[in-house]
Structure 1
Amino acid sequence: MARKSTVQRAQQHRSLVTHDQPKSPISEQYRTLRTNLEFSAVDKELTTIAVTSSNPSEGKSLTTANLAVTFAQQSKKVLLIDADLRKPTVHYTFRTNNTFGLSNLLVGDHALEQVVQDVRVDNLDVLTCGPVPPNPSELLGSKAMRQLVENAKESYDLIIFDTPPVLAVTDSQVLSQFVDGVLLVIRSKVTDKDTAIRAKELLNQTHANILGTVLNDREADEGNYHYYYGN
């Protein structure tokens, strides 16, 4: 079978495949990732997960979105938060309004119930970024952010954060200090070994609980993408 073109692969990569094609091999890989994450927390149930990458364009936002969908399909009440306050994408993925969001909540303009949005996936709510603020790191490390997490836990079984790349800014390191675990996405044939090691070292500096890594964009012979989990 002929390999897919770059455009075709990019279009597939942007899709919510776990919702639109739940029986596809890619969706099954996401479910495998979900299962492995659940088994990684045998002593403590995961209620907050941050997903990050080493650098931009490694697929962490689509991985985050599809992972959130798979947990919601398991009948867990899930909140996906776009904590990338620099280059947010969650509102594009779910085709939602981004007029108000996380940034409004953190500065006290709105309450959680005013800015959270229903999406086309049962059991999944989304909190988009909102207006891009001038001080992302300060907001993410604020008392308001910690309070948001505690308040959200009362209504949701799982909170998943889409966070900026580790090597680009310190935001993911800041967030890693008050989530149960961090998932690191690396892209096949793009992320080199030294870059991935450096990202891991930066997370270790803040004592992040690194749950594992996802090898993204690895093509099998049939041209599909596969997602792998491992410490």
Structure 2
Amino acid sequence: MADAAGNAVELDSGLATVHSAMSPEAEAYRGVRTALFFSTHGERHKVIQVTSPHMGDGKTTLIINLAVSIAQAGRKVLLLDADLRRPRVHRAFGLTSRIGLAEVLTGTAELADAIQMTAIPNLSVLPCGRRPSNPAELLTTPAFEDVLDDLRAAYDYVLVDSPPLLAVSDPCVVAPRVDGLVLTIRVTKNGRPAAERARDLLVRLKVNCLGVVVNGVGKQGAMAGYGYDYYRHADDYSAPYTTADHDEPGMGEGQPLTPPARLSSEPAGHVEPVANGPAHAPE
């Protein structure tokens, strides 16, 4: 695929909405898009955070495909990478991350200079930038709220990628500043305690949870993700990291994403994985 300047761009293979637009995976993302449109209809839900209990639940794969599908529907979309620890969004679209959110928040770059157009019409990306040594502190500054306000005024939808809820405090800092949150979880044999802990965090923060997207429910059954080492990846998030300009190898989220089962539009409540179907969040 080529960008607006005609340069060849290699997009991430996980972008099913681009590489296999007629596949069940792509249709599942469009289903999430439709549910999101209905859940936000007539309301001021323009800035939406996507997070998960653990790394490996598929949050980044979900958000990049959701952003593409919304852009394909003719909406003007900005994908903001607020994962200042292990950013992936820029690489999914073949972009650089030398200037991004971190530079805007520290005052060393202007917002307009940090935003990059992608090869997908209607879709722009604000990458992480150089990974800072104080990510949680940067996200608590008034400058971050100012950035969200500016983006809210300029785009139809702003999707915010953030680290896993149970790994670091960053997503809890971001959540009160957005209009709504989508939680993605992967169904596993022992995944219920993590889902409940994530739910409890969101309830305490009084977050507007728009719904839950469930992964691992597909051709291989509800236990498709069983055996994945979530706690090892949580350690990855809390371990020291560098501020190198280049990407480190091996920083993907692990398993490929299976089609998301459903976006529940009910508020955060008791998140219960169902044996052969989506999790739900009843009142």
Instruction: Confirm or deny a common fold (TM above 0.5).
Output: yes
- Pair 1:114–1:191, CA change in 2 (3 A): farther
Displacement of 1:125 after TM fit? 0.2
CA separation in 2, counterparts of 1:198 and 1:118?
Answer: 37
The one-letter code of the counterpart of 1:113 is: A
The residue number in structure 2 matching 1:59 is: 58
- Pair 1:54–1:92, CA change in 2 (3 A): same
- Pair 1:108–1:197, CA change in 2 (3 A): same
1:35 matches 2:34: yes
The residue number in structure 2 matching 1:157 is: 156
Instruction: Please show how residues 8-23 of structure 1 align to structure 2 within 5 Å.
Output: 15-23=14-22
The one-letter code of the counterpart of 1:229 is: L
Displacement of 1:200 after TM fit? 1.2
The one-letter code of the counterpart of 1:124 is: L
Displacement of 1:153 after TM fit? 1.9
The residue number in structure 1 matching 2:259 is: 226
The residue number in structure 2 matching 1:99 is: 98
Q: Secondary structure at the match of 2:65?
A: helix
- Pair 1:122–1:191, CA change in 2 (3 A): farther
Contact 2:102–2:130 (CA<8 Å) still a contact in 1? yes
| Deviation sequence 1:186-210 (CA, Å, 0-9, x none) | 0122661111010111122111111
TM-score by length of 1: 0.89
RMSD: 1.9
CA separation in 2, counterparts of 1:120 and 1:218?
Answer: 31
- Pair 1:61–1:198, CA change in 2 (3 A): same
CA separation in 2, counterparts of 1:176 and 1:191?
Answer: 26
Contact 2:13–2:19 (CA<8 Å) still a contact in 1? no
The residue number in structure 2 matching 1:182 is: 181
| Deviation sequence 1:34-76 (CA, Å, 0-9, x none) | 1111212245142010000001111100101000011101111
Q: Secondary structure at the match of 2:194?
A: helix
Higher helix share: 1
The residue number in structure 2 matching 1:83 is: 82
Task: For structure 1, list consecutive stretches of 5 or more residues without a partner in the other structure.
Answer: 1-12
Displacement of 1:152 after TM fit? 1.2
In terms of mean alpha carbon deviation, does 214-223 or 200-209 score higher?
214-223
CA separation in 1, counterparts of 2:120 and 2:17?
Answer: 10
In terms of mean alpha carbon deviation, does 42-51 or 204-213 score higher?
42-51
CA separation in 2, counterparts of 1:123 and 1:190?
Answer: 39
1:193 matches 2:227: no
CA separation in 2, counterparts of 1:220 and 1:214?
Answer: 17
- Pair 1:155–1:190, CA change in 2 (3 A): farther
| Deviation sequence 1:142-172 (CA, Å, 0-9, x none) | 1000000111122211100000000011111
- Identity between Structure 1 and Structure 2 (%): 37
Contact 1:76–1:123 (CA<8 Å) still a contact in 2? yes
Displacement of 1:14 after TM fit? 5.1
Displacement of 1:221 after TM fit? 6.2
| Deviation sequence 1:8-47 (CA, Å, 0-9, x none) | xxxxx95111122211111111111111112122451420
| Deviation sequence 1:99-144 (CA, Å, 0-9, x none) | 1111001101111110111111100000111111111111112100
Moved >4 Å (runs of 4+):
221-224
| Greater radius of gyration (CA) | 2
